[in-house]
Structure 1
């Protein structure tokens, strides 16, 4: 067991240096291959150790000690056309996102665990295109949590203190638009702390759950403020702070297991509209709806799911300085505009100790076009972005 834990931790640290490009805003639709195979389901259905961040109350379903580690190969396809110059594809088209989870039942009532997940991020890369202002952005977020759960008579509660690591890098060249190359000072990093709360009740195949995730305040010195300051000569109102707070979340879920079939539904609200930084760029709260199905038979399982959340980025008034700058950064640097996610997955148990989970997520193309007229002397002009995604997740589980 100790060897498995060391391998899992080492994998998470090694992979955390790679970028992520997430999908409910800048969040992954789910943590772990089981959840991702079911459209992100995880609030009202236990996935064992994988439940560490989704709903800490549900880790109590493990029977002994469970160690899971794996990752997601994320493949976004982003193309942006700035002011009619022609569509250019971003080179940020491949990321590896790590995940490690450990859960242990200490007694009939008490369980604890450790979770380390790449949870969110996004970015684009136009540095070698000679177009789109050579924009390069990269936001990465990873969370470390220690879930604690207590269960009695089918009712369970859980809490997970969370430590979050984040990094942000923004670069571009404003030459030709009244400015110069951005003066951001390389990658900025920060740590923040928060907590997750969860509760669940299980009876006769029915599980209902609820969860709350606190906001986590992050500051990336020399990034957002420096990036927007470059517009000062053109539009002085565009300067923003370096705060980029990960928003609070609240949700509820329900699942029902009938023989070999499990049907599940989760809902959560992501509070982008009140999060520092995101609200400055005009992001709005996001309602996320998740539908999942699982079929189990002997030592294997099949899963399918659907995840929908409306684009949280509202178009700003591009005839104003602030509106044009927000539209510019949102679509060129942080195009979190996709809405629909179709998922499939499966599991295979090689023996009582070892199993493998797989998941695939397909995101059809979404296109948005926002005004940036104020960047064009008031003459009508737009920025248009197309965004689609594919992702493959794999996870190994060891039970002791």
Structure 2
């Protein structure tokens, strides 16, 4: 009885610490797989670059990956971890031989994770966990985006055309899952997801220089004077719940090979009153707007080879992510493939891990003219506006400033040590710098009718090298 009480106390301590960690996280950001982190930020699985969908490294990887792999987590196990994330986003506007650079204020963050699994009867494993599933953050309030790269002087204006854009999205997932071993070679599993999302989108602080836009629009479109005016903050902080599910199976034809497949449903949030617009001077509506944000469905297949060489595990997973049909993201991103390769070598109490992942570039070459059903940002029109091309350019600017998720190549290494009753895991991953650009043809054409020969402005978002450093503790009972 005393041993049982000690186990319960240890388990309760792990759970309490994990929940406090999840509640304390300030914000998150996008990874190379979009706003989703997949398994790349887990203390053990991160060492294999997230290649843990077929032979998981612990309870969290099984619960939030392929739930059929829960049957591989024997007894009762619990894990808690935190991953520190270091990254920077730089944005450059080039126009008329000039350029301006803005740095996003979001940089260093932390992502917590916890899970508990228990084999309640032979072949049946239940699990519960909480993770930071997805996130996105960019903030230009202290370094606003200069829409015309300080070329306003060519139009006779001294005030720069600045827009302090920002976005923040965070999705916490609570999973309840079960895995059942049907035969010696076949397992199935399912998990239900309850998501809690927090979001902001729009501008923070006052815009500047709308007189330049107003003058150009008056000459080109014939709009009355003062149609476009500077405006203040347009974003509000909102939250919502969402629901999803995942299904999986694994097949092990022999002791060396495991094959897995899983499907993860989309998870949608309906954020009410998130963004303000005032289109009254264009004959439109005024007030707050709703925004539907949908995290995409995923299809995962994988294969793992165990003991091709003594104590060596190799795994390859392929993940297909349906960004092209996910609400809001479908306006700026295409569907995406991820290739995850991981290796794990046991050496006594030590476990050494390494991995590589490739993420297909998902930036749309032709963006839509709005996000979901939004029709404006302040007095800037979106959607079916008087000049649809102008609205498309605004979304293109948003793509390169707030959504430049273009990391493609990622390498990782990790190490674990087994103390007997508990284990520790650490990893470091490095995603190489990438960039994406958008050319605003309509804005260039409009200004060109006033001052010919300036060309078209180009907006380039550069995501600098992204580093994950994760550490975690797990226990077996």
Does the C-alpha gap of structure 1 residues 12 and 83 become closer, same or farther in structure 2, counting only changes over 3 Å? Answer: same
Task: Compare CA radii of gyration and give the structure with the larger one.
Answer: 2
Structure 2 Cα separation of the partners of residues 234 and 327 of structure 1:
22
Using structure 1 for the length normalisation, give the TM-score.
0.91
Task: Report SS of the residue matched to 2:88.
Answer: strand
| CA apart distance, 1:338 | 1.5
Match of 1:135 in 2: 165
Counterpart in the other structure of 1:69: 80
| Whole-angstrom CA distance in 2 between matches of 1:28 and 1:233 | 42
The C-alpha deviation readout for 1:192-230, integer Å capped at 9, x for no partner, is 00101111123312111111111112112233x53xx46
* Counterpart check, 1:323 vs 2:356: no
Alignment check: 8 A CA contact 2:435 2:462 kept? yes
More moved, 121-130 vs 288-297: 121-130
Could you tell me how far 1:186 is from its partner in structure 2?
1.8
1:181 paired residue number: 231
Equivalent residues, number: 393
Query: After superposition, what is the alpha-carbon deviation per residue over 1:79-136, rounded to whole angstroms, capped at 9, x for unaligned?
Result: 0013444222212011111111111111111100112110111111221225452222
Given the alignment, which residue of 102, 106, 110 partners 1:92? 106
1:278 Cα offset (Å):
1.1
Q: Within 1, Cα distance between the matches of 2:364 and 2:281?
A: 26
Q: Corresponding residue for 2:31?
A: 22
**Gap runs ≥5 in structure 1:** none
Rounded to whole Å, the distance in 2 between the matches of 1:270 and 1:293 is 23
* 1:375 paired residue number: 443
Q: CA deviation at 1:276?
A: 1.1
CA distance in 1, matches of 2:437, 2:76: 50
Equivalence for 1:82 = 93
Work out the CA distance in 2 between the residues paired with 1:147 and 1:38. Answer: 23
* Equivalent residue for 1:123, pick from 127, 137, 140: 137
* 3-state SS in 2 of match to 1:253: strand
Alignment CA distance shift 1:143-1:308 (3 Å): same
Whether the aligned pair in 1 keeps the contact of 2:202 and 2:235 (CA below 8 Å) is no
> Could you say which residue in structure 2 is the equivalent of 1:303?
353
How has the CA–CA distance of structure 1 residues 231 and 399 changed in structure 2, closer, same or farther, with 3 Å as cutoff? farther
d(CA) in 1 for partners of 2:457, 2:281: 20
CA contact (8 A) 1:20 1:123 kept: yes
Deviation at 1:159, TM superposition (A): 0.6
- The question of whether the paired residues in 2 share the 8 Å contact of 1:20 and 1:96 is answered with no
Alignment partner, residue 163 of structure 1: 194
Tell me the SS of whatever aligns to 1:12: helix
1:355 to 415, 423, 438: 423
What residue number does 1:336 align with? Answer: 405
Alignment partner, residue 256 of structure 1: 305
Structure 1 residue matching 2:432: 3-state secondary structure: strand
1:361 CA drift (Å): 1.3
- Kept after mapping to 2: 8 A contact 1:179/1:231: no
Contact 2:45 2:56 in 1 (8 A): no
Q: 1:372 to 1:174 in 2, by over 3 A?
A: farther
Matched, 1:384 2:394: no
Q: Is the 8 A contact 2:33 2:338 kept in 1?
A: yes
- Give the deviation of 1:179 after TM superposition: 4.6
Task: Write out aligned runs for 1:44-59 (5 A).
Answer: 44-50=54-60, 51-59=62-70
- C-alpha separation in 2, matches of 1:46 and 1:341: 19
Root-mean-square deviation over aligned CA pairs: 2.4
CA distance in 1, matches of 2:280, 2:420: 63
User: After superposition, what is the alpha-carbon deviation per residue over 1:6-31, rounded to whole angstroms, capped at 9, x for unaligned?
Assistant: 2222222222x433332211111425
| Residues 199-238 of structure 1 mapped to structure 2, 5 A cutoff | 199-202=249-252, 203-223=254-274, 226=276, 229=277
Quote how far apart the aligned CAs of 1:299 are. Answer: 0.8
Give 1:10's aligned residue: 20
TM-score by length of 2: 0.77
User: Following the alignment from structure 2 to structure 1, what is the Cα–Cα distance between the partners of residues 476 and 399?
Assistant: 43
Pairing partner for 1:150 from 180, 199, 209:
180
The SS at the match of 2:68 is helix
Inter-partner Cα distance in structure 1 for 2:433 and 2:196: 30
- Could you say which residue in structure 1 is the equivalent of 2:154? none
Any idea what SS the aligned residue of 1:163 has? strand
